[in-house]
Chain A
């Protein structure tokens, strides 16, 4: 079993839809959780950084962490074609600095 599981997609939604991206993990030592967006042939861009259970909102993006269920989510409201990219979840243990990545979910927002 992988430490971090993420559905690779591809996920295709119409413009304006609410997108839900999810990751599950098995290592209870993970304390910090991140979502990165990666456009084709570019480096990952940090979108959200959370470290406690609950929700964190930033514009159209909401990151949700449920440590008891070892489950994290990223919600994108009013999705735009420019949101089309691969979304990677990543996590790190407390005191550590090595990221463990999910496989990434490829998202396409269509007009």
Chain B
């Protein structure tokens, strides 16, 4: 399957600082990437849809000024958690869409980034 990478895999920061997480599609171009948040033993919660060259589309209840998304190229999307607070501590996962063998869109996930805000 297609490979999606994330960097960093783990980050610890102080409250009030900003953290940037990178999501890259390694062997394909992705016009659309997604950002999810996952709490322990819970399912994935879609935060936003990131489209190359345009503004991200945020899900209801997700603060766009808090979670800045930039999709600068067909292989890179970044999520910046601004002025992070302990309640932002979570597992952040990105995914990217590519065309499957059957002509359908298949979504592949990155390994996730564990953010801990002290």
Chain B binding surface SS class: strand
Residues on A with beta carbons closer than 8 Å to the beta carbon of B108: 46
Q: Write the nearest CB–CB distance from A26 to chain B, whole angstroms.
A: 16
Contact B1 A46 (CB under 8 A): yes
Q: Contact partner of A42 among B44, B95, B106, B111, CB < 8 A?
A: B111
Of chain B, the residue at the smallest CB distance from A102 is B43
Q: Interface residues of B, CB < 8 Å — how many?
A: 27
Contact B109 A49 (CB under 8 A): no
**A44-B109, A97-B107, A98-B49 as given contacts; A49 in contact with B44, CB under 8 Å:** no
Residues on B with beta carbons closer than 8 Å to the beta carbon of A75: none
Assembly CA distance A42 to B10 (angstroms): 11
B100 near A: Cβ within 8 Å? Answer: yes
**A42-B111, A43-B112 as given contacts; A101 in contact with B44, CB under 8 Å:** yes
**Residues of A participating in the B interface, judged by any CB pair closer than 8 Å:** 8, 32, 34, 36, 41-46, 49, 51, 88, 92, 97-99, 101-104, 106
